[in-house]
Structure 1
Amino acid sequence: MDTENTLSEHDYRLPRDTEPAGDAVPLHWVDAIPVRARFVAESVGGRWAITQWRLAAVEPAEPEAPDTLPLEIFVDEADGYYLNLSSGEPSIMVRWRLPEDISGVIGEAGEPVAIAVTLSYDEAGRWMDGGERVDRVPMPAKMAEWLAEYVKLHWKPEDKPRKRRGPKASFMRRDEFAQLVERERQRFSPGPGGEGSGNG
């Protein structure tokens, strides 16, 4: 992967003013990181090949660029960040749609549109529970260290259950999550067995 387009430590370093001095209370707000999701097209199916899209990377972006998304963290998602970090394979998760999802016209051509990005396992789970397309890429080690510092400041097991935005998501192991992502990809694929194939 092009190192110039990957997230560097500078891009997601925890701002100094979020680190409390003495008995000061840590700030809950951390500036959003502008990122973009990059997708790649793959042809599958041999002679009757179809195009499938997959998430290839989450990269730093210009704040004003049209495809920029804010990567934000929130105190009330601390449980989801903890679950992500403790999964054994911390990830950046992206909610995305195809043009046909937006227009309702089956088979409409065009590149995927990234809708939102999160580091919270819970938030990604809620998206999937709602039938959204969700894919992931590995979280850079330095970002995991940064997120771990945030979790250390704000995650309190004794506070559970916390009030969440939206319905509570069911948590699953990393391998189950990956399998669910793959099932969703196949379900939305226009190939044999997918909803768009006419064989469902």
Structure 2
Amino acid sequence: MAASRSSSLSMPVGVVVRRLPGVTRWAKWSWKAVALLPGAGPADWSELRREGDAVEYHAATLPLVLWRTDTEAYLHALGARVPTVAVVMRPTTDPQRPLDVFRVTASPYEAQDYQDSGEEIVELVPMTAGLRAWVQDFCDRHHEHEPFVKRRRGPRMEMREEDGKGDSRVRQISDVYRAPRPKERLQ
């Protein structure tokens, strides 16, 4: 772990992925990130548990990085009914490693960015009590509340020039917003 006043703090987090039989004929298997292992060692799709067709793997261990500039997002995640960490994965063609688990984040804003792209699979996994306390402690030490400041308009300019405003194809000065007629169009 890094020093208390650094710009970031990192912890290795293992990601547990569950494989279940698919419910349609087009998908043989269903994959879902189901748990986190804070402080886990390295892993590469190590089988953890098997119950019939259901298998859980320790798919990867990735750093969960907290940044001082993102504390508002972490507080938003902690304030949810169930605080979560987003696990971001991509499908692969390798049958031994069907998903590339490449990112874990405590920021719901960053998770939304990955969801918007549509290229990745984003699973929200509940934070463990220890992980929640770790994120809360980081936010308590680094969050700086920014008060809302309403933007004010500048003074009106009464005698300003509006040169060049409107459609340049309209030759009349009186109504620069009027649409040009076909005979007025420039060739």
TM-score where L is the length of structure 2: 0.60
- 2:15·2:36 contact (CA, 8 Å) conserved in 1? yes
Q: Cα deviation per residue 1:109-161 (whole Å; 9 max; x = unaligned)?
A: 44212010011111111111122210021101122122112112222231679
| Partner Cα distance (2:65, 2:148) in 1 | 22
Q: In proportion to residue count, which structure has more strand?
A: 2
Cα-Cα RMSD: 2.7
Larger Rg: 2
- The alpha-carbon distance between structure 1 residues 57 and 150, as it changes in their structure 2 partners (threshold 3 A), is same
Q: 1:123 to 1:50 in 2, by over 3 A?
A: same
Q: Give the distance between the partners of 1:48 and 1:126, measured in 2 at CA.
A: 28
Residue matched to 1:78: 71
Unaligned ranges ≥5, structure 2? 45-59, 150-187
> Structure 1 unaligned runs (5+)?
1-13, 19-25, 101-107, 162-200
Amino acid at match of 1:61: A
Deviation of 1:93 (Å):
1.1
- Residues 148, 48 of structure 1: alpha-carbon distance in 2 compared, 3 angstrom cutoff: closer
Which structure's residues are more often helix, by fraction? 1
**Aligned equivalent of 1:92, options 64, 71, 85:** 85
Corresponding residue for residue 116 of structure 1: 103
- Corresponding pairs, count: 131
Instruction: Please give the alpha-carbon distance, in whole angstroms, between the structure 2 residues aligned to 1:51 and 1:97.
Output: 15
CA distance in 2, matches of 1:28, 1:160: 24
The 3 A distance-change label for structure 1 pair 46 and 125 is closer
| 8 Å CA contact retained: 2:20, 2:29 | yes
TM-score by length of 1: 0.56
1:47 shift after superposition: 7.3
Amino acid across the alignment from 2:13? V
